[in-house]
């Protein structure tokens, strides 16, 4: 089964990888969890990798849900979902 990368937007800036693991683990095994931060705008976004079936279940369950006082944006990641790198 192919691994999917899931994009998680609108995270609190203090979210860490362990938080994402805890959030997504009920839907299945996680291959990787990572956070990207935009400190200038005080926001964060996350990425979780898991197999297709649990990824679909997680997206269906978590998209638009409230978590840590924020409404989550959860969908299959696209190449342009990463913050632009500033030099």
List the chain domain ranges: 3-79
Tell me the per-residue pLDDT of 16-73, one tens digit each, with 9 for 90 and over.
999 999 999 999 999 999 999 887 777 899 999 999 999 999 999 999 999 999 999 9
36 touches 82 (CB < 8 A): yes
Q: What angle do CA 62, 49, 85 make, to 5 degrees?
A: 95
pTM comes to 0.86
Fold annotation for 3-79: Alpha-Beta Plaits (3.30.70)
């Amino acid at each position: 089964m192919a691994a999917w990368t899931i994009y998680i937007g609108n995270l609190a800036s203090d979210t860490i990888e362990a938080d994402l693991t805890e959030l997504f683990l009920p839907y299945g095994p996680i291959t990787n969890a990572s956070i990207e931060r935009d400190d200038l705008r005080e926001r964060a976004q996350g990425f979780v990798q898991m197999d297709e079936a649990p990824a679909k279940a997680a997206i269906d369950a978590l998209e638009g849900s409230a978590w840590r006082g924020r409404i989550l944006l959860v969908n299959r990641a696209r190449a342009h979902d990463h913050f632009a790198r500033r030099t």
